[in-house]
Structure 1
């Protein structure tokens, strides 16, 4: 058994890396080290599902030369050993010719395809191929379990030898395979048992630690890494045992109300932070208890003041309750009066709105009268024009009557009858002119009277418009008064509700003041009791750690 040096020197090698990653046994491909052709079998050391290390067994390729290859009956037979990726490990015909080569480098693709097809089955198989010299050979493949890998033992012989005694050849192939397996297993097991035996003590000690038993002593039986591991594990268990016993003593001392602690053992490395944390906890507890002691004295002193204040608060709350009751009665009376004012304001608002509506309707009627007078005035003007026309006709008729009288006078006796008619026509024309003048005077007086009436009506209509505007202002002001009265009524209602709430709060304050007085007396008693309990502790004063 030997060490492979520092961890960094071998941790990246396949025999360690792949075994540690898969947590399974692994056999390397053949390699040469210090002039020796070999393979390495690696076995993981797993504890609590974690890889604690890797045990390796180096196997010299020359050991495979012990396999029986050719015989007198089968002089052409030779044996090959392949890894799971068809790499030559051993060839009995020539150890150096194919060592480390791939089977694909020796056979063409067609022949290798037949072999690969059998390898994929994972079972024993036979295949016929042709060698470089043109001779046909039969290859008998038998799987070899190498950890989690499948290697192959191949017996090869010319078909001419095979046909001599096929059964014997199969038996020989099986024997060779079994011997190969037995040899590999025997060599690996021997080396593995030798390396694992010291580790079993370490595993047993770790199991003992897990159960809380620190009475552990492991003797190193070698000076390699496993021996050093055993010695270091034993020292670590002893240190841990001493620290745990010291912590138990310190905690028992604290349980006995004595916080003036001091460690009895060294706390190496990261354990120093445990000691510092322990002292920090003890210091904080001591400071806290000291502060509690001071506060308990202050609480006892303040409790009496609180009790006196609570009694004064009770008396004041009683006076406040009487004042609040008087305030409630006053607010209730004012609220009723404001409610009545609001009701009267609403009635006045309705009346003012009705008066405004009447004035508006009267104003509309006056406007209609003005329009009728304007129609009368227009019609009178038309009649006056017609009478003027009648007066003109009367003047012309009178002129014609005068001319007819003149012509009748010229006619003499024959024109007397016509003269009478002309005279009558002249009189009618004179009467018509007189009647026209009288009508004109009457119509002129009527137009003047209509104009005066129109002016009066316009003036009255203007006053009605002003009155309607003022009435609207009055309605608006009364509406504002009504709204304000309603708002006041609502505010007084809320004020009354608030007074009720204040009364309830005052009553609660009175009850709470009485309870506070009783609680203060109880608090003083509890503070005295707390001081008695704290005086029992021997507090930590910052001794040398």
Structure 2
């Protein structure tokens, strides 16, 4: 039978052990050691504290698992059917279930809306691009129309100047035609005077011919008289002969002159006919030129109006072209804005796609699969580490990780809780998604870590932590740990972080 002093010491020892248990619970460490108390009531208290820690650990594991899945976008996560919530913890389970259901339904609706917005944005972007291309094409066509209209206007100006020159020429030609007509009229009058003069000359020639005939007759009479006079009339006979010859010559000359006068009269008649015809043609030309001049003046007036109309049309086309160019610029700007909006919508769609609401797209691995992969890796790594010295651990872990798709990292801890190796990352791991990350280094203390303590206590067991979010990658992970003894008699703990995604 124990003495009171011994009983008191045992009681004091048991109370201190229970105080340490409650102290660890108060600090959030649910991995407490079960104690064997000497006093029955204290043993029940210790067992109750241990049961509380186990229940709280189960609650925290379930809640932490659900929240970890939600944090990586897995909105299909559900509270395990095996998880039992009692008393005041039932509302937590209800609220957690409601949160997962509400988030899932909300994101399904958001995703549907986002898909519609994305389709509309894609269609709007396509339409805007086509509109911008059409506006640009129209602007180019309008530029060509403007250039052609300017060319037409320039041609019209040149035509207007040419018509004015033609009108001036026609006016001058009309003046010359009038002068020519007046000259033709004067020529007709002069030809009539020539014709009259020719008639008078013919009369004079007839008179000279008559005088020549009389002179010839007089010469004959004189010759007769001279013959009668005999010797005394010989001189007079010579004169009479000379007068006769002169009369003969005069007659020939008058006859020739008469022929020339007749020919001249005939030619003058022909010239008068031509002059009259010329005068008539000048009169017709004058009338025609008058009509042409009037038509030219009308063309000039119409060309002036056409020039003004074309100028107005060119100004209107220029205004339309400017407006179309502005519209094309706005369409291009709008197309750029729509393209940016479409890109931002696509980015938002990518963000929403990170949330898992479709079971067919769920990429979270089943825990049983992760457990199997972790167990297989542990066996492979432990075989390799068995005869490995501490300075070769990093290289050995790297070799073991080469073909592993779901191992995030691996490291080795000594029996004193200090890390021996570096934290060796898996070859498919992308570090830095959740901000600054500093991996554990050799010498870091892990004595307070549950995965170390469990492996250190249960050296023959493969220990698994709750699901959590990796600070390195943001992935959903669990830490698997197992103690092993090297060929050199040293105790180590191999820790492996496995990812579920």
Please tell me the TM-score bracket, short chain as reference: 0.3 to 0.5
TM-score, normalised with respect to structure 2: 0.37
Structure with the larger strand share: 1
Larger relative contact order, structure 1 or 2 (CA cutoff 8 Å, min sep 6)? 2
